Amino acid sequence: MLSARTEAGRGLPPYYLVYFLLVDLLKFPSLGQWEKTAWTVPVRFQGRLYGIEHRKMGLGVFEPNLDPNAIMSGRPSQEGEQDATAIVEVIKQAVSVAAPYFQWRAQQAIATSELNVVNRNSDLFERYEFFRDQFNAQVVGSKELAGKSKDRRSESPGTFNVELISSWLSVNKQVNWYAQAAIEAFFSWTEHAFIHLAILQGKLKVGTQVAELAEDNWNAKFKTALDISDKDTKAHYDKLLDLRAQVRNFVAHGAFGKEGQAFRFHSGAGSVPVLLTNDRDHQVSFTGRVAFDEASAISEIGSFLDHLWAGALAPSRCYLFSVLPSILSYASDGTYAEAMRSEEDMLRLVQDLTRRFEQAADMAW
């Protein structure tokens, strides 16, 4: 019960690799959970007893205080530190050799529902909100500058203020930048959110399903999470799909212009834009889709979000923006299905799980 943390023990590999190596693979005994301790594996080295423990303050090699009258753990001895250095080195080498076992173990793990899926919805959505709010603020600034320029021209017809126009152009450019950043951030969030929405609806129940959908395209994620047989949802899907294609070409694929204008063709008609397309059979064209408008795109995103949270998926909002991961076993056993019946049911689940996760993080078994 009284043992001192060695400095050398801080150099151990991640706790899960050490546990899988010693307990799963090599069948070392584990003493299980103690107060503020997730697990303890006792080992003998050179005939001396040590504990490899995952405590609240981290993994380490601990030297027991064997004095029967001791009331404190004390400090590790010089011999204990030397032994811990050797133990850590042996474990590091064993972890390296056991890499194929860990790969096999990981494959076994994702084929089950005994998994939690990391939830980063809050961070990703906050990034979208930041750029959206900056866009809205810059729009206001642009309108104010345009108004000042108009007032100046009214006061002095036939003249214009170079400084005001320069400022307006600069702000207007930033309006577009923030809009494009907000659109990209929104689609980044949806790639993540749609997977969690599918789990909460019981459509993904094992790790392999989650992994496959994560690697699939945005269209597949949307269709898994939302029902496009609903005409309103389908309308939003079509608009967002078109917007995504345009933004992906313009921002991500370096297609130069919003419509994909990569070249200027010299002809009797004058300068003609040549557009890059997504069609493998017809790589270029003179015609393409209408260029996206940043303000309209931001408005459509807001409209889609209103639609998303107004329907049957409304209870999921509470869970998505909590700190909780999505638990695949809850998708399998019907826990999420019950919670999705109402926002009140989901709130109760979130509160209960949050309390339990806090207890586990504190190792208050």
Tell me: the pLDDT tens digits for 233-247?
Answer: 999 999 999 888 877
Q: Does this model's pTM top 0.95?
A: no
* pLDDT exceeds cutoff 70 at 143: no
At residue 145, the pLDDT reads: 57
Furthest-apart CA atoms within the chain: distance in Å: 101
* pLDDT exceeds cutoff 90 at 144: no
At residue 273, the pLDDT reads: 67
* pLDDT exceeds cutoff 70 at 8: yes
Task: Give dist(CA 295, CA 298) in Å, integer.
Answer: 5
Task: Specify whether the CB–CB gap between 221 and 192 falls below 8 A.
Answer: no
Task: Specify whether the CB–CB gap between 288 and 260 falls below 8 A.
Answer: yes
As given in the structure block, the two tokens for residue 250 are: 């313009």
Chain mean pLDDT for the chain: 86
Region at 254 (left for phi over 0; alpha for psi -120 to 50; beta for the rest) = left
Q: Mean pLDDT throughout 323-348?
A: 96
At what angle are helices 294-310 and 162-200 packed, to 10 degrees? 30
Contacts of 132 (CB under 8 A, 6+ apart): 178, 182, 186, 298, 301
Q: Describe the strand order of the beta sheet including 261-267 as a list of residue ranges.
A: 261-267, 270-276, 284-285
Tell me: the pLDDT tens digits for 272-308?
Answer: 666 655 555 655 554 555 455 788 999 999 999 999 9
At residue 274, the pLDDT reads: 63
Percent of the chain clearing pLDDT 90 (strictly above): 64
Task: Give dist(CA 141, CA 270) in Å, integer.
Answer: 37
Show contacts of 352-360: CB within 8 Å, 24+ apart.
353/322, 353/324, 353/327, 354/322, 354/323, 354/324, 357/323, 357/324
Count of other CB atoms within 10 angstroms of residue 338 = 13
* pLDDT exceeds cutoff 50 at 185: yes
3-state SS assignment for residue 323: coil
What is the domain partition of the chain in residue ranges?
A: 3-110, 232-312
At residue 62, the pLDDT reads: 96
**C-alpha distances out from residue 102 to 23, 201, 271, Å:** 13, 31, 60
At residue 290, the pLDDT reads: 47
As given in the structure block, the two tokens for residue 261 are: 């204008």
Tell me: the pLDDT tens digits for 54-87?
Answer: 999 899 999 998 888 888 888 899 999 999 999 9
To which H or E segment does residue 107 belong? helix 99-110
3-state SS assignment for residue 275: strand
Residue 9 DSSP one-character state = G
3-state SS assignment for residue 19: helix
Closest listed residue to residue 121, CA positions, set 215, 228, 203, 195: 195
Tell me: the pLDDT tens digits for 196-218?
Answer: 999 999 999 999 999 999 999 99
